[in-house]
Amino acid sequence: MTDREAERLMVFTEKLAVNAGAILKKSFNRRHDIRYKGRIDPVTEADLKSEKFITDNILNNYPEHEILTEEGSAVGQKSPYRWVIDPLDGTVNYAHAFPVYCVSIALEYKGEIVLGAVYDPQLEELFRARKGAGAYLNRKKIHVSGERVLKRALLATGFAYDIGTARRNNLGLFARMAKKAEGIRRLGSAALDLCWLAAGRLDGFWELKLHPWDTAAAKLIVEEAGGKITRFNGEKYSIFEKEILASNGKLHPALKKVLRG
């Protein structure tokens, strides 16, 4: 992929995320048609509208590309190019009119994430990154925090939809980390958690059982902002892994130690 092609695809992705976000914002704080994939795993009509808008635009402009998306799973044909999409990250928040949600769109080329955009419609904040070109919030370049001390760190985490039934959940890890950090926030959108880490608003993040579309775009944004993402044990992270540890880099050893118990 040439730099010119990558920049053209980046602009396309940014516009797609912002316009999909406008669809979500238009229906925010209204009554929704909700169905449940699990006990606490909802899907609204807004998820589906946003997803259809994004996939239709991709297939109309790049019919040879593959798409992996939350509600529709895989569509399109096998290709070196694969879009990884969450049309509405933070559906529980959205369904309750809690204003923390976003659109997340990433593009892989030959198995590597090369660009990503995460858009927060409520704050009109567009986080974006292109491989090797840095990370940005709207027009401003962003960087992770410089915090080195865990007891002064503000962290974020989340809980999987199977928290009520699964033997492995995040409750014990949360309790341990709460005793070590200055504070922990549970915002309900992993993509925004990671983007806020990239922007220096948070110093670290961990979670279990996320899906590829939850982290694909934000992973690149964090890394391009100077952050570090691994598995809990420090090994290489893939968007298909079921555990993620992200930090400003400086706090990574301390966070790993707590997660190991």
Could you give all domains of the chain from N- to C-terminal order, each with its CATH number? 3-141 (3.30.540.10), 150-260 (3.40.190.80)
Q: Are 78 and 56 in contact (CB under 8 A)?
A: no
pLDDT digits (tens, 9 = 90+) for 157-192: 998 766 666 777 888 899 999 999 999 999 999 999
> What percentage of the chain exceeds 90 in pLDDT?
80
- CA distance linking residue 49 with residue 185, whole number of Å: 29
CB-count burial class (<10 Å; 0-12, 13-18, 19+) for 77? exposed
**From residue 114, how far is each of 1, 178, 179, 247, 249 by CA, in Å?**
9, 35, 37, 20, 21
Look at residue 113 and tell me whether its pLDDT is greater than 50: yes
Find the range with the poorest average confidence among 76-80, 112-116, 250-254. 76-80
The pLDDT of residue 160 is 76
Residue among 124, 72, 71 at smallest CA distance from 102: 124
Q: Which residues contact 164 (CB under 8 A, 6 or more apart)?
A: 39, 40
The pLDDT of residue 39 is 47
- pLDDT, mean of residues 100-121: 97
- Supply the DSSP string of 17-86, one letter for each residue: HHHHHHHHHHHTTS---EEEEETTEEEEHHHHHHHHHHHHHHHHH-TT-EEEETTTEEEE---SEEEEEE
Look at residue 62 and tell me whether its pLDDT is greater than 80: yes
Look at residue 37 and tell me whether its pLDDT is greater than 90: no
Average pLDDT along the chain: 91
The reply to whether the predicted model has a pTM over 0.85 is yes
